[in-house]
Homo-oligomer: A and B are copies of this chain.
Amino acid sequence: MVFEEADLIIKKCMILPMSNINVIQNGLIAVKDGAISYMGDITDAPKFKAEKVLEGSGKLVMPGLIDCHTHLAMTLFRGLAEDVTLRKWLEESIWPLEAKLRPQDVYDGALLGCLEMIKSGITCFADMYFFESKVAEAVEKAGLRAALASGIIEAGSQERGEKMFREAVQFAQEYRKYADGRITTFLGPHTVYTCNQELLKRIREKASRMSVGIHIHIAESKEMAEKVMKNFGFSEVKLLESLQFLSDDVLAAHCIHLKQEDTKILAKRRVKVVHNPVANMKLAQGVAKVKELIEAGVTVGLGTDGPASNNSLDMFESMKVAALLQKVRYKDPTVLPNRRVLEMATINGAKALGLEKQIGSLEIGKRADIILIDLKRPNLTPLHDLCSSLIYSVHGCDVDSVIVDGRLVMEHREVKTLGESEVMEKAEDAAFKLLER
């Protein structure tokens, strides 16, 4: 008898590949050297000799979720500025606190965020923040995958703008293949109204030369969208288009206040949009027209946004809220059906980050970013419709095990890469000391 070798196999599981392949009811999936080496019906599978075997009976195996927009270290500020306007939230709470942040705070906050993400089945995320090398270190430690950008905010000070630009470029260069290649890098200009046009052009050119993407906020605030229109005579999107800024490597968070021609430009330039329904609702920023963006051919990913404006990091929750909110927006319960929402959180998220050849679906040869969901839960019984249950009935805590790049980072809810209590204590300590500083 011939055995195939594997580092890890999961057997007797239901598999939702999120590719063109349908659900496999009784499947086997094998992982070797961090990649998926076999996937199929268990009756057709070869015999495996594996270092680790996970029993998949009663479990669903699907791609890890991809959170396309967050500011992870803001876990430290969770709950500090509640029920206030975006302007007040930024000016009176968040910015003064961020001015006091030290690198170690960002590490502690980001590590807490990584822990929360692992526990709800997020295997990859896109982040934009300060001291981003500390976020990279947290990602390496936690065993996650991430697309990281060091933020660039000029906001009236050319000197600050220059400094942050230099730092962002240096970070993007230094960390682009960090953590065994699990980290990719972006440049992170904050918005069109916190970076001047000259700087935006230089960021665009630099990103192209370096072959890294650009992560930016577009049309989040109605107030600022109107201000940009008044000051420049252009919408945010048209302003960026006039600078030849928009391209298929741009990851645009929010995109709420768009005119029809803005949507057309985004589609034409193949810009990737990230929808953040929970944070947009909490700060009452309006509702993005996800239905129209998708119909126009735009790739739309899904994000939690930072944990200070959500206030949790649970992509299952964000999927449910995204599905519900579009139905409200269009007064039509048929809008944004379940499968579309699942795509936003998996394969389309991967496309948004330029990682669709590596992750986002379960296919032989792709990196093994896999989550197991325990289907034997009251809220998932009976299982009449798998996709519907994954959008509307599942909770983050139904995730049983998490594999990233072939490595088991959580097994039966026990996180293998981090000491849970220690991570929580350190972050809590950092947060309270920051408030006293």
In the assembled complex, which residues on chain B have CB atoms less than 8 Å from the CB atom of A78? 381-382, 384, 389, 393
A396 at the interface (CB under 8 A from B): yes
Instruction: Report yes or no: A388 in contact with B82, Cβ–Cβ below 8 A.
Output: yes
A383 at the interface (CB under 8 A from B): yes
A75 at the interface (CB under 8 A from B): yes
Instruction: Report yes or no: A381 in contact with B337, Cβ–Cβ below 8 A.
Output: no
Select from chain B the residue with minimum beta-carbon distance to A85: B333
Q: Which of A324, A376, A431 has the most CB of B within 10 A?
A: A324
> Roughly how many angstroms separate A428 CA and B58 CA in the complex, as a whole number?
14
Interface string of A398-437 (1 = CB under 8 A from B): 0000000000000000000000110110011001100000
Interface string of A324-361 (1 = CB under 8 A from B): 11011011111101100000000000000000000000
Select from chain B the residue with minimum beta-carbon distance to A82: B388
A133 at the interface (CB under 8 A from B): no
Out of B85, B311, B324, B334, which one reaches A84, CB within 8 Å?
B334
> Roughly how many angstroms separate A305 CA and B119 CA in the complex, as a whole number?
28
Stretch at the interface among A1-9, A184-192, A260-268, A282-290: A282-290
CB distance from A194 to the nearest CB of B (A): 21
A392 at the interface (CB under 8 A from B): yes
Instruction: Report yes or no: B76 in contact with A382, Cβ–Cβ below 8 A.
Output: yes
A155 at the interface (CB under 8 A from B): no
A80 at the interface (CB under 8 A from B): yes
In the assembled complex, which residues on chain B have CB atoms less than 8 Å from the CB atom of A119? 378-379
CB distance from A332 to the nearest CB of B (A): 5
Stretch at the interface among A28-36, A145-153, A312-320, A365-373: A312-320
Instruction: Report yes or no: A284 in contact with B80, Cβ–Cβ below 8 A.
Output: no
In the assembled complex, which residues on chain B have CB atoms less than 8 Å from the CB atom of A384? 77-80, 431
In the assembled complex, which residues on chain B have CB atoms less than 8 Å from the CB atom of A382? 75-76, 78-79, 427-428, 431-432
Instruction: Report yes or no: A79 in contact with B383, Cβ–Cβ below 8 A.
Output: yes
Knowing A282-B327, A284-B328, A378-B115, the reply to whether A393 touches B86 (Cβ < 8 A) is: no
A83 at the interface (CB under 8 A from B): yes
In the assembled complex, which residues on chain B have CB atoms less than 8 Å from the CB atom of A420? 378
Instruction: Report yes or no: A328 in contact with B287, Cβ–Cβ below 8 A.
Output: yes
CB distance from A347 to the nearest CB of B (A): 20
In the assembled complex, which residues on chain B have CB atoms less than 8 Å from the CB atom of A84? 333-334
Select from chain B the residue with minimum beta-carbon distance to A109: B382
Interface string of A287-329 (1 = CB under 8 A from B): 1000000000000000000000011111001001101110110
In the assembled complex, which residues on chain B have CB atoms less than 8 Å from the CB atom of A75? 381-382
> Roughly how many angstroms separate A311 CA and B89 CA in the complex, as a whole number?
33
A:244-282 near B, CB below 8 Å: 278, 281-282
Interface string of A2-35 (1 = CB under 8 A from B): 0000000000000000000000000000000000
CB distance from A143 to the nearest CB of B (A): 15
In the assembled complex, which residues on chain B have CB atoms less than 8 Å from the CB atom of A80? 384-385
Query: A residues bordering B, Cβ < 8 Å?
Result: 75-80, 82-86, 89, 112, 115-116, 119, 278, 281-284, 286-287, 310-314, 317, 320-321, 323-325, 327-328, 330-335, 337-338, 376-379, 381-385, 388-389, 392-393, 395-397, 420-421, 423-424, 427-428, 431-432
Q: List 26 A-B contacts (CB under 8 A).
A: A79-B383, A82-B338, A82-B392, A83-B338, A85-B333, A112-B378, A119-B379, A281-B327, A282-B323, A282-B333, A283-B327, A284-B327, A284-B328, A284-B332, A311-B389, A312-B379, A312-B392, A312-B395, A317-B317, A317-B320, A321-B324, A325-B328, A376-B424, A378-B423, A382-B431, A382-B432
